[in-house]
């Protein structure tokens, strides 16, 4: 269970993220939510704990769930999904299937990539615009994903999503090639 300070920090981070994702100015969000601009500033700076009613109004105005606004579990901008937690949405007796590995709430231009990293190699990416989300699925080997200075091991069969406005690096520390399928969702230009 989160304490009040964790929820305050999570709400501040998530409100700012989703306001940016939607391209809403403080004034636009205030008008859509029926919440004062000053209150939104205080919430984004983690200087106040709004009422449940205010939080619901903000979530509704942003088009996200209150759970999304208060999500504090990760404590980081990265979500890891073990392969055994992927969801098979359909299958046939002959063996065809559709598996959802990972998802994210995002909009804007969308890119699909296939990467191959040889042992000992890696690449670093500059931070992308606020609101950019990357989803990746490791199909072979093991990827070391470093986001904002924290390393995450993502073995074959597992997936990850992360907020790509943080500095990030993809590295193969394993003995064989690492193969990754990745999507990048960039928010539309303002």
DSSP-based three-state secondary structure for 171? strand
- Alpha-helix residue ranges (DSSP H) falling in the chain: 4-22, 26-33, 37-44, 52-62, 66-70
Distance between CA atoms of 120 and 89, rounded to whole angstroms?
A: 36
Say whether both 65 and 82 belong to one domain.
no
Q: Is there a domain that residue 148 lies in?
A: yes
Beta-carbon count within 10 A of 100 CB: 11
Q: Is there a domain that residue 190 lies in?
A: no
Query: What's the domain count of the chain?
Result: 2
Query: Which of 70, 103, 119 delimits the end of a domain?
Result: 70
Say whether both 126 and 163 belong to one domain.
yes
Say whether both 151 and 135 belong to one domain.
yes
Q: Which residues of the chain have a pLDDT value below 70?
A: 1-3, 67, 72-77, 87, 89-90, 97-100, 102-108, 189-190
Q: What is the pLDDT of residue 1?
A: 44
Q: Is there a domain that residue 33 lies in?
A: yes
Q: How many residues are there in the chain?
A: 190
Query: Which of 70, 86, 106 delimits the end of a domain?
Result: 70
Say whether both 113 and 154 belong to one domain.
yes
Say whether both 87 and 175 belong to one domain.
yes
Distance between CA atoms of 82 and 158, rounded to whole angstroms?
A: 5
Q: What is the pLDDT of residue 190?
A: 60
Q: Is there a domain that residue 176 lies in?
A: yes
Containing structural domain, residue 155: 78-185
Say whether both 94 and 178 belong to one domain.
yes
């Amino acid at each position: 269970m989160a304490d009040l300070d964790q929820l305050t920090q999570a709400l501040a981070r998530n409100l700012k993220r989703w306001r940016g994702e939607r391209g809403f100015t403080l004034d636009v969000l205030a008008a859509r939510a029926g919440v004062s601009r000053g209150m939104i500033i205080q919430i984004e700076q983690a200087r106040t704990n709004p009422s449940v009613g205010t939080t619901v109004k903000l979530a509704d105005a942003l088009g996200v769930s209150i759970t999304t606004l208060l999500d504090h579990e990760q404590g980081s901008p990265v979500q890891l999904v073990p392969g055994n937690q992927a969801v098979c949405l359909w299958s046939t007796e002959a063996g065809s299937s559709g598996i959802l590995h990972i998802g994210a709430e995002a909009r804007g231009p969308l890119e699909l990539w296939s990467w191959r990293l040889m042992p000992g190699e890696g690449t670093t990416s500059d931070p992308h615009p606020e609101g950019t989300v990357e989803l990746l699925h490791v199909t072979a080997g093991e990827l070391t994903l470093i986001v904002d200075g924290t390393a995450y091991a993502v073995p074959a069969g597992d997936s990850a999503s992360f907020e790509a406005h943080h500095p990030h690096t993809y590295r193969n520390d394993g003995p064989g090639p690492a193969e990754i399928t990745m999507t990048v969702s960039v928010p539309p230009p303002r």
